[in-house]
Structure 1
């Protein structure tokens, strides 16, 4: 990846990370999900640009994981309340899935020889911390249930 593309990805990724962190701190579901959702496009584009036959399976797996994250975090206007226990339980499972995706991104960038600059790994660290923050707040009853 050339330096111009890395700079663009860094600026956009940083802005989307800040949007997610702001959404987590302010319990704003739309900002939280928008940052995560649209950040997912960056690894899809980056892995598509870096695609080569030697590591084709790795690139495809990373692309599929972030397509799944994009779909799961796509912000919508569907509202549900705490009385909808199925939706409330599903939110918890989706949160854990997104956390696992981002921890996988951390491992992929920092621990494996992926060639991805470390600054992108820090974005995944920030996303993971935001998700952990929301999960802890939700489990203690002091945080949002991501309703309405």
Structure 2
């Protein structure tokens, strides 16, 4: 039985609320809370059930992105609330990209290649690092999550 997106939405909410600056650590915590601590150290050992949970986290974060965009547009991109949603969206992207990269790297370890995304792992890493940098640049500033 595969998990429902709503089972994993809480980590998506948690990563996007509060203060910006530590999104990567929060993303790792959200993933390890759902599937266990070993996943970042033993890519080959990730089970299909764990991979499904990580994939569900990624898909949930990806779906939340549309809600972030709508909230930013409603609030106004440069308004204080719009900027809070924007910073929350960056943290959400860090979660999405961390989960995607984890699945891709596990796939490569197990199969020698990956077909999870049209992007290469290097492209995903570059995008992840860009979003981590944006998050760190906003360290200490309030960010706002979305409900769904």
- Structure 2 length as normaliser, TM-score? 0.40
The structure with the larger Rg is 1
Q: RCO greater where, 1 or 2, for CA within 8 Å and sep 6 or more?
A: 2
